[in-house]
């Protein structure tokens, strides 16, 4: 019993040291440095554009997907976050609906649908699609907007991140940034 009472004091004070240094000083100094050196990144990588009437508007975050449904836009991944087994009947049904929706939007397209366009991401807000999924949509977007396919391709390229060091991870096309660019909202 005596030893318990003697140990309580250092136990409490150690936790205090961890709280002050690990919770306070560490968190605050990282926040301070982040706000000074990486203000855009530290605050959610928000995308602000100038609308036609000249007002500034936050239209989203570079890293958070938005839903696009019109054929003139690049379509992203489904925004469901199901946690379902890939073999389950429920997911299979969702997937079929999605395939039909994509086919109705672009009936002339005879290519195989890239898998990421019909499977949900882990976050439900994956901002990227694969380069294959972007190429799959070039013809449709160009036709809908009456512009050259090369122009669409160029815009997609501009917003494609490559693998880190050339091999780590997968290339990704940022759907929101491509669509903002297609609408001429990026400088």
Q: How far is the CB of 22 from other proteins (least distance, A)?
A: 4
Closest CA to 80 of 69, 61, 67: 67
Sheet strands side by side (includes 160-161): 128-129, 172-174, 160-161
Question: Closer CB to other proteins, residue 113 or residue 150?
Answer: 113
The distance of closest approach from Cβ of residue 4 to other proteins in the complex, given in angstroms and rounded to an integer, is 7
Nearer to other proteins, 21 or 150 (CB): 21
What CA–CA distances, in Å, run from 15 to 19, 21, 77? 6, 10, 45
**Least gap, CB of 109 to other proteins (angstroms):** 11
- Residue 103 or 149 with smaller CB distance to other proteins: 103
Neighbours of 134 (CB within 10 A): 28
Please identify, using beta-carbon distances, which residue of 127 and 141 lies nearer to other proteins: 127
Give how far the C-alpha of residue 163 lies from the chain's centroid of Cα atoms, to the nearest Å. 16
* CB 118 to other proteins: min, Å: 6
């Amino acid at each position: 019993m005596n030893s318990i009472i003697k140990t309580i004091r250092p136990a409490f004070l150690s936790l205090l040291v961890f709280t002050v240094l690990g919770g306070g000083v560490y968190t605050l100094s990282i926040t301070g440095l982040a706000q000074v050196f990486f203000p855009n990144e530290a605050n959610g990588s928000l995308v602000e554009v100038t609308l036609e009437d000249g007002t500034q508007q936050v239209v989203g975050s570079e890293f958070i997907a938005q839903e696009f449904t019109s054929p003139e836009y690049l379509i992203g991944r489904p925004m469901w976050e199901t946690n379902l087994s890939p073999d389950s009947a429920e997911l299979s049904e969702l997937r079929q609906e999605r395939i039909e929706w994509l086919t109705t939007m672009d009936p002339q397209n005879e290519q195989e649908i890239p898998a990421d366009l019909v499977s949900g991401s882990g976050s439900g807000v994956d901002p990227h699609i694969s380069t294959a999924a972007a190429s799959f949509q070039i013809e449709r977007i160009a036709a809908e907007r009456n512009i050259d396919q090369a122009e669409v391709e160029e815009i997609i390229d501009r917003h494609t991140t490559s693998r880190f060091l050339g091999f780590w991870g997968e290339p990704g096309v940022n759907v929101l940034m491509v669509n903002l660019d297609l609408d001429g909202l990026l400088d």
